Amino acid sequence: MLRLGAHESIAGGLHRALERAASVGCESMQMWVKSSRQWTAPPLEEAEIAAFKAAEAETDIRPVVAHAAYLINIASPKSGLRKRSVASLIAEATRCEQLGIPYLVLHPGAHTGAGVDEGIRLAALSLSEVHAATEGFHLTILLETMAGQGTVLGRTFEELRAIIEATAQGERLGVCFDTCHVFAAGYELRTPEGYEATMEAFAAALGFERLKVIHLNDSRHPLGSHKDRHEHIGHGYLGEAPFRHLLHDARLDGLPGILETPKSADLHEDRENLATLRRLAKEAR
Ligand SMILES: [Zn+2]
Ligand SMILES: [Zn+2]
């Protein structure tokens, strides 16, 4: 069984994300480690770190997963933007290390016209630079499977493998599997046969030992649409079946399964989606 959780807001302080997650019954969670719309942030204060660790000690939420800012594009052919992305990623990795967060989910970037091969080369170069600057960190950066909108890299499992293989200390990298993105990229998840074929393709390209986090999102667009729009569990083109398969898959036991679905201030959508997932986990596959 997965450890179910959700992405929660850090409005009011990093520790507030943990409080929000606990209030809706999360067993794991995801958060930003700084404002997601800014390149930089002042260094973390000791008091912020202490408040976060105190809140974490009061819950059983584990792991806490961080998601890197969307601004970051480690595959950019514009060297200024790529260097800024590397610096920003190092700063986020440092924050994770200070907070004791084990995983940082990262979009592998977009080549913006330079071509897939050049994008893979630049993404790997950037990750090599980040690894060199974060020697000895406990943190693992996780490359996320992507829907493949526009020139975004990571629309196939093989593209992620190519980035990992070209990265210095590539063995330090892991992978985050997003159900909406994988389906929008063209991988079937709804039928038992389709689900198994997709998981076998994942195992062949990347291996389950690299899989550290699963994002549980339904999709607002159909199979192979290459559009990245998340929907509430069971209300999109995926429906309930893929989540039933995932929740009964012994290869995924103990991994965090994290919602990134729309929500309002009272978080009732998180409660509903978590209840749906817990019901599916009890139903026969
Ligand atoms: Zn993401
Ligand atoms: Zn995701």
Q: Is 215 labeled as catalytic in the residue annotation?
A: yes
Helix extents (H) in the chain: 14-24, 46-57, 79-99, 116-133, 157-166, 179-184, 192-205, 241-247, 268-282
Averaged pLDDT score across all residues of the chain? 97
Q: Is 37 labeled as catalytic in the residue annotation?
A: yes
64-67 vs 28-31, strand pairing mode: parallel
Of 97, 188, 231, 260, which is the active-site residue?
260
In one-letter notation, the amino acid at residue 182 is V
Q: Is 221 labeled as catalytic in the residue annotation?
A: no
What domain count does the chain have? 1
pLDDT in tens, 72-118: 999 999 999 999 999 999 999 999 999 999 999 999 999 999 999 99
pLDDT in tens, 242-257: 999 999 999 999 999 9
pLDDT in tens, 16-75: 999 999 999 999 999 999 988 899 889 999 999 999 999 999 999 999 999 999 999 999
Report the C-alpha gap between 204 and 158 in whole angstroms: 9
> Closest ligand to 217 CA?
2
CA-based end-to-end distance of the chain? 13
Of 60, 70, 171, 251, which is the active-site residue?
70
Of 155, 215, 220, 221, which is the active-site residue?
215
From residue 178, give the alpha-carbon distance in Å to each of 6, 52, 142, 218, 244: 13, 27, 12, 10, 15
Q: Is 107 labeled as catalytic in the residue annotation?
A: yes
pLDDT, position 285? 77
- Please name which of 245, 255, 234, 276 lies closest in space to residue 1, comparing C-alpha atoms: 255
Instruction: Tally the residues of the chain.
Output: 285
> Closest ligand to 180 CA?
2
Domain encompassing residue 220? 3-282
Report the C-alpha gap between 14 and 32 in whole angstroms: 8
Q: Is 285 labeled as catalytic in the residue annotation?
A: no
Instruction: Evaluate the CA torsion angle 110, 73, 95, 163 in order and state its sign.
Output: positive
pTM assigned to the model: 0.97
Report the C-alpha gap between 182 and 22 in whole angstroms: 28
Q: Is 232 labeled as catalytic in the residue annotation?
A: no
Q: Which residues surround ligand 2, an ion (CB under 5 A)?
A: 178, 215
CA 272 to chain centre: 21
**Which CATH number belongs to the domain containing residue 202 in this structure?**
3.20.20.150
Report the C-alpha gap between 251 and 205 in whole angstroms: 16
Of 67, 82, 155, 221, which is the active-site residue?
67
Of 15, 82, 107, 131, which is the active-site residue?
107
- Residue 237 CB partners (closer than 8 Å, separation 6+): 183, 218, 219, 220, 221, 222, 223, 231
Whether the Cβ atoms of residue 137 and residue 98 lie closer than 8 Å to each other? no
Q: How confident is the model at residue 6 (pLDDT cuts 50, 70, 90)?
A: very high
Give 168 Cα–ligand 1 centroid separation in angstroms. 23
